[in-house]
Amino acid sequence: MSSRGYHEGIWQAVPESSHGKDLAVRLDFALQRLRAVEPAGGRSAISPPRVLDVGCGAGQITSEIVRAGFDVVGIDVAEEPLRRARSREPALDVRLVAVDRAWPFDDASFDAVWAGETLEHVLDTAAWLSEVRRVLRSGGTLALSTPSLDRLRLLGLALSASRFAERFDPCADHVRFYSRRTLAQLLGEFGFERIELRGGGGGLPWSRRTLLASAVRSRF
């Protein structure tokens, strides 16, 4: 099966009513970080900050970023979620991209990149982060969310055989797993600075399901 067919198959199995876990938490974090972003021309710029939503899926968060006043482009590697996004909101600018090719944008063409629940699905992490860095302008912001696998979270999973088996299902579509330490190290290695991470979702500190991260593209 081709990588395109693989991703289409995953989305065919996702109910159209699904929003994923911690949607409100992810949306609040994305808007908080994006509202702090200045467009390339500074506060006096006429155009709003330009945002790339990577792995936009069915566009729920993409739509909210647009409504918050940003100039937004959403991209995904499957057509099915983009069809759902266009069906719900025809004016959304959402585009299909290939898994193994450079994204069709000029260098330094975005003020910010948002990637919600995307990084854990990426096979070639180095190529993906290199593209994020390429399309971000110097000093631009990267904000993302990904499932958390810090030590306390892992301990909680280890105490339940069924939850552990579900989380590490060999047929699941999550292929990468991140803790605060490993994600911070990864972002630093790819030229990001001012890295901030925190947990979100879940009821107790040890059970935080979502890792929320932001960083700034270094100015070199």
User: What pLDDT digit, counting tens, does each position of 65-86 carry?
Assistant: 999 999 999 999 999 999 999 9
In a domain, 43, yes or no: no
In a domain, 22, yes or no: yes
**Helix or strand or coil: residue 123?**
coil
Max distance between CA atoms of the chain, in angstroms, equals 56
In a domain, 165, yes or no: yes
In a domain, 174, yes or no: yes
In a domain, 152, yes or no: yes
Domain extent, residue 134, equals 3-38+48-217
First to last CA, the chain: 40
In this predicted structure, what is the pLDDT of residue 207?
Answer: 65
In a domain, 81, yes or no: yes
More confident residue, 9 or 84: 84
Burial string for 86-111 (b: 16+ CB within 10 Å, else e) reads eeebeebbbeebebeeebebeebbbb
In a domain, 124, yes or no: yes
Domain of 147, CATH number, reads 3.40.50.150
Token couple for 17: 């009513």
Q: pLDDT digits over 175-207, tens only?
A: 898 999 999 999 999 999 999 999 998 766 656
CA distance 150 to 123: 21
Number of domain units in the chain: 1
Cα 151 from chain centre:
22
CA distance 32 to 129: 22
Burial string for 120-149 (b: 16+ CB within 10 Å, else e) reads bbbeeeeebbebbbbbbbebbbbbbbbbbb
108 touches 50 (CB < 8 A): no
H/E stretch holding 26: helix 23-34
| Backbone angle region of 12, left / alpha / beta, with phi > 0 → left and psi within -120 to 50 → alpha | alpha
More confident residue, 135 or 207: 135
> 50 has which bridge partners?
71
Token couple for 46: 């006429």
In this predicted structure, what is the pLDDT of residue 59?
Answer: 96
pTM for the full predicted model: 0.90
Please report the DSSP string for 133-150 in residue order: HHHEEEEEEEEEEEEB--
Residue range 151-160: mean pLDDT, rounded: 72
In a domain, 9, yes or no: yes
